[in-house]
Chains A and B, each alone.
Chain A
Amino acid sequence: MAIQQIPTMCLNCSTVCGMIAKVENGRILKLEGNPRDPNSRGKLCAKGQAAINMVEDPDRILHPMKRIGPRGSGKWERISWDQAIQDIADRLRALRQEERPEEMVLLYGRDRTNGFLERFTDAFGTPNKLGHRGLCSLNKRMAIRAVIGDTDWETPDFVNSQFILNFGSNFYEAHQGHVGMVTRVAEAKRRGAYLVTFDVRLSNTAAKSNEWFPIFPGTDGLVALAIGHVILRDGLQNTEFIREWTNATLDEWKAHYRPYTPEWAERESGVPAAKIEEIAHAFAQAAPRATTITNRGAHAHVNGFHNEWAILCLNALVGSIGKEGGWCYVPGDVNRSAPQPGPLPPKPKVKTELSHPSALPFVNQIYPRAASTTIFPYISEGKSKVDTLFSYYINAPMSWPQGPTFVRDTLLNEELIPFHVAIDSFYSETVEVADYVLPDATFLEKWDLDARNSHELRPYVGLRQPVVQPPGECRDIREILITLAKAIDEEMAQYFDFEDAECFIEKWAEAVPGGLEHLRKVGIWVDENQRAAYVPYLQDTGYSISDSRIEVDADGVARLGDTVIGKVWGHQIVKGFATVDRKFQFKLPQLGELSSGVPIYPTYLPVTHHQHLADDEYILTTFKWNVHTQSRTANQTWLTEIVGDNPCWIHPRTAERMGIQEGMEFKITAQNSELMVKPMITEAIHPKVLAISASFGHWQYGRTAQGRGYNPNPLIQSVMDPVGGGQAWNDTVVRIELM
Chain B
Amino acid sequence: MGTKYTMLIDLDHCSGCHACSVACKAEHQVPTGQFRHTVQYVEAGAFPQVSRKFIPTLCQHCTDTPCIKVCAVGAIEKRDSGAIVINQERCVGSGQCVDACPYGAIYMDPVSMTAAKCDFCESRVAEGELPACAATCPTDAIQFGFEDDPHIRESLAKGGYTRWEPEPTAPRVLYKGLGETQQKLKRINRS
Taking beta carbons and an 8 Å cutoff, which residues of A are in contact with B? 29-33, 40, 42-46, 49-50, 52, 172-173, 179, 182-183, 186, 189-190, 202, 204-205, 207-208, 212-214, 626-627, 637-639, 641-642, 651, 682-687
Contact = CB atoms under 8 A, between A and B. Distances in A.
B15 A182 contact: yes
B32 A641 contact: yes
Interface string B94-113: 00000000000000000000
B122 interface: no
Contacts of A204: 15-17, 52, 54
B183 interface: no
Contacts of B38: 642
A544 to B, nearest CB: 47
Interface stretch (B42-50, B74-82, B160-168): B42-50
Interface in B17-52: 17-19, 21-23, 25-27, 32-33, 38, 43, 45-48, 50-52
Contacts of B48: 212-214
Given A52-B26, A204-B54, A212-B48, A186 B138 contact: yes
A45 B17 contact: yes
Contacts of A45: 17, 19, 138
Given A173-B17, A642-B18, 6 more contacts: A44-B23, A172-B17, A182-B15, A639-B22, A642-B21, A687-B47
B15 to A, nearest CB: 5
Interface string B48-65: 101111100000000000
Contacts of A182: 15, 17, 138-139
**Range of interface residues on chain B?**
20 to 34
A736 to B, nearest CB: 18
Interface of B: 13, 15-19, 21-23, 25-27, 32-33, 38, 43, 45-48, 50-54, 135-141
Contacts of B50: 202, 212, 683-684
A278 to B, nearest CB: 16
Contacts of A682: 43
B18 to A, nearest CB: 4
16 contacts: A43-B137, A45-B19, A50-B26, A186-B13, A204-B17, A207-B52, A626-B17, A626-B18, A627-B18, A638-B22, A638-B25, A638-B32, A641-B33, A683-B43, A683-B50, A684-B47
A202 B52 contact: yes
A50 B48 CA distance: 34
B43 A50 contact: no
B185 to A, nearest CB: 17
A49 B27 CA distance: 10
B47 A46 contact: no
B19 A49 contact: yes
Contact of B23 (A49, A189, A687): A49
Contacts of A642: 18, 21-22, 38
Nearest to A637: B32
B189 to A, nearest CB: 12
